């Protein structure tokens, strides 16, 4: 996927999520299916996954290269990244990873802030994606708690799918 296509899919997936969240009954923000995250926790989780990515992409590229290394393979396409993520989710069998364990339930007063931050962080990621060189998108790698080290282009494509994944979960079960 080229940079513009990635930015476009990030925008599309994020807008679908925000539109759905904004239409929901405010009481559902702090409620979810039995034993599952609340709607607010789902939104907070997405914010907690995109913010560190933006922070990493704000670092000097040589630091990322020094800390995580360089890619040693070709970049996978969007569909392959999605399939690998779905496979890894099945293997994880519902385990929650460190950053998302014991997640607080955001109160209704925090909803507007979380939705605004999601929009801002998504716009930042789109900007950074378009600004970054293709070489850096394809050779710099970042760690993912479930997927392992991934080229930046893949982790940004994964982010778009991650938003879609949670939006579908919300639409189907909440």
pLDDT exceeds 70 at position 31: yes
Query: φ and ψ at 143, to 5 degrees?
Result: -80, 145
Q: How confident is the model at residue 138 (pLDDT cuts 50, 70, 90)?
A: very high
Q: What CA–CA distances, in Å, run from 118 to 18, 82, 106, 143?
A: 8, 21, 14, 21
Helix, strand and coil content of the chain, in percent to the nearest 5, comes to 70, 5, 25
* In the predicted structure, residue 158 carries a pLDDT above the cut 80: yes
Tokens of 132: 């970054």
- Which among 50, 62, 41 is positioned nearest to 107, based on CA atoms? 41
Instruction: Select from 122, 131, 119, 124 the least CA-distant residue to 4.
Output: 131
Higher local confidence (pLDDT), 90 or 101:
90
pLDDT digits (tens, 9 = 90+) for 47-60: 999 999 999 999 99
Residue length of the chain: 174
* Helix, strand or coil, per DSSP, at residue 174: coil
pLDDT, position 168: 97
**What average pLDDT does range 43-72 have in this prediction?**
97
Q: Are 11 and 17 in contact (CB under 8 A)?
A: no
Lowest mean pLDDT among 9-13, 33-37, 101-105, 121-125: 101-105
Q: What per-residue confidence (pLDDT) applies to 32?
A: 86
Smallest CA-to-CA distance from 81 within 160, 163, 139, 11 is with: 160
Question: What is the largest distance, in Å, between two alpha-carbon atoms of the chain?
Answer: 48
35-52 average pLDDT score: 94
**Domains defined for the chain, CATH in brackets:** 3-22+38-173 (1.20.120)
pLDDT above 70 (res 107): yes
């Amino acid at each position: 996927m080229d940079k513009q296509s990635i930015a476009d899919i990030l925008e599309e997936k994020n807008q679908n999520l925000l539109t759905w969240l904004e239409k929901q009954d405010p009481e559902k923000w702090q409620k979810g299916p039995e034993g599952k995250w609340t709607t607010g926790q789902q939104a907070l989780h997405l914010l907690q996954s995109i913010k560190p990515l933006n922070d990493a992409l704000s670092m000097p590229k040589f630091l990322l290269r020094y800390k995580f290394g360089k890619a040693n393979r070709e970049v996978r396409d969007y569909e392959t990244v999605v399939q690998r993520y779905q496979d890894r989710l099945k293997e994880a069998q519902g385990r929650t990873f460190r950053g998302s364990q014991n997640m607080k339930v955001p109160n209704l007063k925090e909803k507007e802030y979380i939705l605004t931050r999601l929009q801002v962080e998504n716009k930042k990621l789109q900007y950074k994606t378009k600004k970054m060189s293709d070489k850096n998108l394809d050779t710099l790698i970042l760690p993912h708690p479930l997927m392992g080290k991934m080229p930046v282009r893949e982790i940004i494509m994964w982010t778009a799918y991650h938003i879609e994944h949670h939006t579908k979960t919300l639409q189907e079960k909440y």
